[in-house]
Structures are given as structure tokens and as C-alpha cells.
């Protein structure tokens, strides 16, 4: 932890020197003030983390310092030093925001105990502040990336439409069609990104309610593979199924559909012409394991660690022309964890990749 700077406001010189000696020996930075005005001006100038404030000062009472500290929003916990530690004064000072008390006369051990407690509090506050700032930074970064990801295709669509309006395609219906098809492709990409974002925020905010039910995983996988058939055919990728129906589970079908749709989609998307995708599934005891393997472009080791991070996309010559949001695997991992399972990946760059999802066959709740 960074140094803690303590201010001692007391009119008795012996008190100031005594506190300084004890606290400096503990490695604290100590400043002192002999009256309220000096103390307040030091507090206002910043750089003080904790103040020890005498209840009775020559120019004002210690309580009014608490008032000022609070009304000026100075973020400094104060320990009141009082000669007559009555219950009333304790209650009054606490109401004004005093962090703690020390009754005069006190021993070095008592001083240390009070200061240690306050320092622990300061440490926790600093940590909370740091986390808050980190959260803000992450949120801003998220907004920045999303805005960029939406702006780029929108600008492209705008460009195409401008060209059309300016007569670029003339009267040739084929030219019109080509341009409109490109617009549509970009719009589709934007819609998918927004759908992914909605999935992600629903999961993150905890508002996504899982609805587990009796289901057959084999039937779900059959369905997903069928949906991707045209896409696989276009890329001359063969999809093989290695599982025996039924595979009974008690799980949220919607969530599993998102998980395996993403994995199968990636296995085809990041494959090569004439490649293969294998979907394996089996139930063993209380667990179900699904493996989606491909003979595609593979993932470099340094990229493998970041795969499940939001917006991460590997940048290699092979992936350059493949569209995507980089959100799919982040969503997959969150859903798998929500379902009490885990996901692993094995890959060899240039050879292929296998994602393995293990889930409890019967989800609780």
C-alpha cells in the first residue's frame, strides 16, 4: 500500500511530538498543526489520509473541524482525541462523521490500535475506488468498441447508398442488385452483433432466467447441424455426427442452442475448403460431454488464452476476410459456466481445433 499520511491537530506540543514519534516509527508520514486554522488549511491542501483531531483547540473546537471536513467533501477519516470521553461527546462526534476516538491520556499501544484500524479502513476504501475506476474504464472501452463495430458497417452501407443515389449503377438492375446485396450483408452483420450484445447483457445483468427442462441433446445437435448444412456446403465442408440418440438431459435448451450454434458456426467459418467438422456427444454418468472438432485454420497459442474475451478475434492472414463480432465465445463460456459446466480448447495452428464442453446432465434449479 502507498504511504499513509497522518495529520495530528493538537495545541499541546508534547502531544504532537509524542504522536509523531510513535507514528513515524511505524513508517507513517506525519504532519502536525497547533490549531484549527492551520489544521484545516493542511487538510484542504490535500495529501492527508487520516487526521487525529483534538476536541479542544485554542481557536475552535474539534467538532467544527469535522463539520468542515464533511461539508467540503474532504475524504479524510478523523479520529477525535478527547480529554473527557463522555458518552454524549462520543455520540455527537460520531454523528458528525468522526471515525473513532482516543481518550486522553492514551498509551502508544492505544494510539497504534486506533490508527491501524483506520488504516485498514483507508486501505479498503482505496481498493473500492480502484475497482470502481477499473469498472468505469472497462465500460468505456466496451462502448468504444461497440460504437466502432457499428459505425464501420453503417458507413459502408451509407457509401453504397450514396453511390446508388448518384447514379453509379445506372439502369443496370444487376449492378443495383449487387450493391444492395452488399448492403444487406453489412446490415445482417450489424444485426448479429446487436443480438450478441443483447445476449451478453442479459447474461451479465443476471436477468437471464434459465429454464431447465427434460430434453434430448442429440435432437438439439441434429437440428443445429441441419441449420448449418447450406453454409457448410458452400464451403465444401463435411459435418459428421458421432453420437447415438437419445442423450437425455435436464437443461435450458435455449442456452445450449446458443452454445453449440456458436461452436459449430466457428468450426465451419474457420475451416478450409474441403475440410471436416465432427460433432461428438456422449453422456457419462452425471456428465455430458460435447466435442466440436474441425480441420480448419487452428489457433495460435498466444491467441488461445484470449479466445473467450469479449471482442477478441485472432488476426491472421486466414481470418482477415471472415466476418464476426468476437462475442460468440465470450457468450459461450458465460452460458456454460451458468449451467455449471466448463469449456476447454485444444488447437494446432494450421491443423485444426477442438472445443470440449462438459455439463452436468441434470442441472439444478
Ligand X SMILES: Nc1ncnc2c1ncn2[C@@H]1O[C@H](COP(=O)(O)OP(=O)(O)O)[C@@H](O)[C@H]1O
Nine-digit cell string for 342: 466448463
Pairing of strands 5-9, 29-33: parallel
The site map against Mg ion for 252-271 (x = CB under 5 A) is --------------x-----
Q: Which is nearer to Mg ion, 208 or 269 (CB)?
A: 269
Q: Which is nearer to Mg ion, 82 or 266 (CB)?
A: 266
Integer angstrom CA distances of residue 13 from 35, 85, 93, 146, 171: 11, 21, 24, 61, 95
Binding segment toward ligand X, per CB under 6 A, in 1-9, 20-28, 139-147, 313-321: 313-321
Q: Residue 307 binds which one of ligand X, Mg ion, none, with CB within 5 to 8 A depending on kind?
A: ligand X
Beta carbons of 251 and 321 less than 8 angstroms apart: no
Q: Which residues pair with 359 in a beta bridge?
A: 288
Instruction: Tell me the three state secondary structure of residue 30.
Output: strand
Interface with Mg ion: number of residues (CB under 5 A): 2
- Estimate the crossing angle of helix 173-204 against helix 108-165, to 10 degrees: 160
CA–CA dist 344, 309 (Å, integer): 14
Q: Which is nearer to ligand X, 251 or 307 (CB)?
A: 307
Q: Which is nearer to Mg ion, 189 or 328 (CB)?
A: 328
CA–CA dist 67, 97 (Å, integer): 8
**Which of 40, 299, 335, 359 lies at the binding interface for ligand X (CB under 6 A)?**
299
Q: Residue 23: phi, psi to the nearest 5?
A: -75, -35
Nearest to 14 by CA among 121, 105, 131, 102: 105
- Is 353 among the residues that bind Mg ion (CB under 5 A)? no
- Is 313 among the residues that bind ligand X (CB under 6 A)? yes
CB of 243 to ligand X, least distance (A): 19
Q: Which residues pair with 249 in a beta bridge?
A: 215
**Which of 32, 82, 262, 295 lies at the binding interface for ligand X (CB under 6 A)?**
262
**Which of 39, 328, 339, 341 lies at the binding interface for ligand X (CB under 6 A)?**
328
Integer angstrom CA distances of residue 74 from 36, 63, 214, 300: 15, 15, 58, 51
Query: What element of type H or E holds 241?
Result: strand 238-242
Q: Residue 89 binds which one of Mg ion, ligand X, none, with CB within 5 to 8 A depending on kind?
A: none
Q: Residue 258 binds which one of ligand X, Mg ion, none, with CB within 5 to 8 A depending on kind?
A: none
Binding segment toward ligand X, per CB under 6 A, in 142-150, 182-190, 246-254, 293-301: 293-301
CA 259 from chain centre, in angstroms, equals: 20
Q: Residue 36 binds which one of Mg ion, ligand X, none, with CB within 5 to 8 A depending on kind?
A: none
- Is 325 among the residues that bind ligand X (CB under 6 A)? yes
Q: Which is nearer to ligand X, 222 or 303 (CB)?
A: 303
Q: Residue 353 binds which one of ligand X, Mg ion, none, with CB within 5 to 8 A depending on kind?
A: ligand X
The site map against Mg ion for 308-347 (x = CB under 5 A) is --------------------x-------------------
Nearest to 57 by CA among 41, 72, 38, 74: 38
- Residues lying near ligand X in the complex (CB under 6 A) are found at 262, 266-267, 270, 294, 296-299, 307, 312-314, 319, 324-329, 353
- Residues lying near Mg ion in the complex (CB under 5 A) are found at 266, 328
Amino acid at each position: 500500500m502507498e504511504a499513509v499520511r497522518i495529520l495530528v491537530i493538537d495545541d499541546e506540543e508534547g502531544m504532537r511530538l509524542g504522536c509523531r514519534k510513535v507514528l513515524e516509527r511505524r513508517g507513517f508520514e506525519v504532519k502536525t498543526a497547533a490549531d484549527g486554522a492551520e489544521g484545516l488549511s493542511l487538510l484542504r491542501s490535500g495529501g492527508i489520509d487520516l487526521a487525529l483531531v483534538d476536541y479542544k483547540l485554542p481557536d475552535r473546537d474539534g467538532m467544527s473541524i469535522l463539520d468542515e471536513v464533511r461539508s467540503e467533501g474532504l475524504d479524510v477519516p478523523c479520529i477525535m482525541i478527547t480529554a473527557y470521553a463522555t458518552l454524549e461527546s462520543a455520540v455527537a462526534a460520531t454523528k458528525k462523521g468522526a471515525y473513532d476516538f482516543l481518550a486522553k491520556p492514551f498509551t502508544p499501544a492505544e494510539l497504534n490500535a486506533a490508527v491501524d484500524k483506520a488504516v485498514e479502513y483507508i486501505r479498503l476504501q482505496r481498493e473500492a475506488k480502484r475497482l470502481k475506476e477499473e469498472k468505469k474504464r472497462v465500460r468505456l472501452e466496451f462502448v468504444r468498441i461497440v460504437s466502432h463495430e457499428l459505425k464501420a458497417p453503417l458507413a459502408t452501407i451509407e457509401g453504397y447508398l450514396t453511390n446508388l443515389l448518384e447514379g453509379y449503377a445506372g439502369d443496370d438492375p444487376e449492378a443495383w442488385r449487387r450493391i444492395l446485396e452488399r448492403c444487406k450483408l453489412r446490415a445482417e452483420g450489424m444485426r448479429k452483433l446487436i443480438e450478441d450484445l443483447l445476449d451478453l447483457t442479459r447474461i451479465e445483468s443476471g436477468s437471464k432466467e434459465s429454464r431447465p427442462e427434460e430434453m434430448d441433446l442429440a435432437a438439439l445437435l441434429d437440428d443445429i447441424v441441419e441449420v448449418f448444412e447450406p453454409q457448410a456446403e458452400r464451403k465444401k465442408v463435411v459435418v459428421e455426427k458421432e453420437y447415438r440418440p437419445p442423450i437425455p438431459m435436464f437443461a435450458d435448451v435455449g442456452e445450449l442452442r446458443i452454445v453449440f450454434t456458436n461452436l459449430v458456426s466457428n468450426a465451419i467459418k474457420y475451416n478450409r475448403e474441403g475440410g471436416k467438422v465432427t460433432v461428438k456427444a456422449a453422456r457419462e454418468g452425471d456428465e455430458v460431454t460435447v466435442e466440436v472438432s474441425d480441420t480448419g485454420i487452428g489457433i495460435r497459442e498466444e491467441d488461445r488464452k484470449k479466445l473467450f474475451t469479449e471482442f477478441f478475434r485472432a488476426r491472421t492472414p486466414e481470418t482477415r476476410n471472415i466476418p464476426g463480432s468476437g462475442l460468440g465465445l465470450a457468450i459461450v463460456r458465460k452460458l456454460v459456466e451458468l449451467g455449471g459446466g466448463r469449456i476447454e480448447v485444444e488447437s494446432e495452428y494450421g491443423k485444426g481445433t477442438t472445443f470440449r464442453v462438459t455439463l452436468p446432465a441434470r442441472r439444478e434449479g
